[in-house]
A and B are shown apart, each in its own frame.
Chain A
Amino acid sequence: MSVHEIEVTINGKKYREQVESRMLLSDFLRETCGLTGTHVGCEHGVCGACTIHLNGSAVRSCLIFAIQVDGQEITTVEGLTKDGELTLLQRNFIECHGLQCGFCTPGILMSTTDYLQKNPNPTLQEIKEMLSGHLCRCTGYEGIIKAIQKTIDESNLNYEAERR
């Protein structure tokens, strides 16, 4: 009972693979599927580097076994871009110097993307609380927060423009 076949949709593509039950989803994504954008840091749910979307919600992939996502839908950082175009949030990370070494960046992008979909207009305090699920040791979070705020401003402008 310890090796199983699973089928998962990742970034719109189907993967059918054999996995041992103890394989973490983070390792499955990186080693079996070759999607190394998902980073592995602490492996006990603290650092947030491995955050992905499972059925549309940001979760830690190091705290889920690959076997548990049989039949489900996953998005990794590789799946954020549309037709090779970076998202507004990704562009603003570049613009506002929201990253230095980049190790924590994929997880933060995944969490923030999900969060802004559910809370399009968060306060600074709410942004900080959402980011508390991620450890970044380079930037002191200033650039990251600016990138997120800029994205909120610009999306709201777009929203306003659409309404007009």
Chain B
Amino acid sequence: MKPAKFDYYCPKTVDEALSLLEEIGFDGKIIAGGQSLVPIMNMRLATPECLIDINQLNDLQFIELDGSKMKIGALTRQAEIEMSDAVRKHLGLLSEAVPYIGHVQTRNRGTFGGSLVHADPSAEIPLSLMTLGGTLHIASKDEVREVNVEDFFVTYLTTDIMPNELLTEIHIPLPEGRVGYSFHEISRRHGDFALVAAACQLSIDSQDRISKVRLVLGGVDAVPLLITEASELMEGEYLSASLLNKIADIVDEVVNPESDLHATADYRRHLAKKLAVRTVKTAYERARGENNECS
């Protein structure tokens, strides 16, 4: 299968890219790693008039600690995140989630920003960022604006980003104190799209009470689903079997999965409950220093 014709531009600087985007507008499409875009172009599901290749924008390729946050450039390859010691040390959830993306051969090319703007509802990076919190820096010719991750994902494959805009960098707060995290995913085969994925990061106080928690599910709705009801329930509490049961009940109520060839909605709902409980439990154990095994 071969892609349709398109015009190709390869800007050397961010400014040049932004001017091109302004000029080309709706006819243009940015290509970074291309690991999602090129397959759909090869199948002619997408036929952009122009491609703007941002692979030369080396300024957008970095992982940087800055005080209480980590800054990651949009063009940073997924494999670089996977291998980064700084990410492993400070944002362990991301190190745990990234190896689930496709295969090592695709992660060598696929980018952090590309996965976010593509916004596949079962993808690992959008799910992880929703769990970690943070802001996306989006540039156009006239301004740079910051969007909270909670406001970024609109619906399936749609984000709060306009045709004349470019995602440049992502800022993620470093978790503090006694923190635990966990990422789990069920797919038909390693590297396939997740049927359901779940991520949790939480902090506990000196008495082991949960002080802050974010639980997010992927593959069960149009966007990564932050289960705020579960956070409200857990905050200030010790983790117990009855609390975990209540979380499963909440998940059962709020998820909205669809059936497809690979799994029925009921099966996805079942997985969502199981994975939610599993990630919360593992995150809590890790925060208490009981479970440092990667699972």
- The reply to whether A63 and B38 form a contact with Cβ atoms under 8 Å apart is yes
Known contacts A1-B9, A22-B3, A22-B5: A64-B34 contact under CB 8 Å: yes
* Distance between B95 CB and nearest chain A CB, rounded to angstroms: 15
Known contacts A68-B53, A129-B190, A132-B189: A2-B6 contact under CB 8 Å: yes
* Distance between B172 CB and nearest chain A CB, rounded to angstroms: 25
Which residues on the A side are within 8 Å of B39 (C-beta)?
A: 43-45, 63
A interface secondary structure, majority: mixed
- The reply to whether A22 and B2 form a contact with Cβ atoms under 8 Å apart is yes
Interface 9-mer from A52-60, A90-98, A156-164: A52-60
- The reply to whether B105 and A111 form a contact with Cβ atoms under 8 Å apart is yes
- The reply to whether A44 and B1 form a contact with Cβ atoms under 8 Å apart is yes
Confirm or deny: A62 has a beta carbon within 8 angstroms of a beta carbon on chain B: yes
Confirm or deny: A115 has a beta carbon within 8 angstroms of a beta carbon on chain B: yes
| Binary B-proximity of A94-128 (CB < 8 A = 1, otherwise 0) | 00000000000000000100110000000000001
Confirm or deny: B19 has a beta carbon within 8 angstroms of a beta carbon on chain A: no
Confirm or deny: A21 has a beta carbon within 8 angstroms of a beta carbon on chain B: yes
| Binary A-proximity of B5-36 (CB < 8 A = 1, otherwise 0) | 11111100000000000000000000100110
Give the tally of cross-chain contacts (CB within 8 A): 102
Confirm or deny: B42 has a beta carbon within 8 angstroms of a beta carbon on chain A: yes
Confirm or deny: B43 has a beta carbon within 8 angstroms of a beta carbon on chain A: yes
Which residues on the A side are within 8 Å of B8 (C-beta)?
A: 1-2, 4, 21, 65, 67
Compute how far the CA of A58 lies from the CA of B110 in the bound complex, rounded to whole angstroms.
12
- The reply to whether B102 and A133 form a contact with Cβ atoms under 8 Å apart is yes
Known contacts A2-B6, A22-B2, A44-B1: A60-B43 contact under CB 8 Å: no
A residues 21-38 near B (Cβ < 8 Å) are 21-22, 24, 27
14 contacts between A and B (CB under 8 A): A1-B7, A21-B5, A21-B51, A22-B3, A22-B6, A43-B39, A45-B106, A57-B109, A58-B104, A58-B105, A63-B39, A111-B105, A133-B104, A133-B191
Question: Which 9 A-B pairs rank lowest in CB-CB distance, beginning with the nearest?
Answer: A133-B103, A44-B39, A21-B8, A1-B7, A63-B38, A57-B108, A133-B105, A59-B109, A132-B190
* Residues of A in contact with B (beta carbons under 8 Å apart): 1-2, 4, 20-22, 24, 27, 43-45, 48, 51, 54, 57-60, 62-65, 67-68, 70, 111, 114-115, 128-130, 132-133
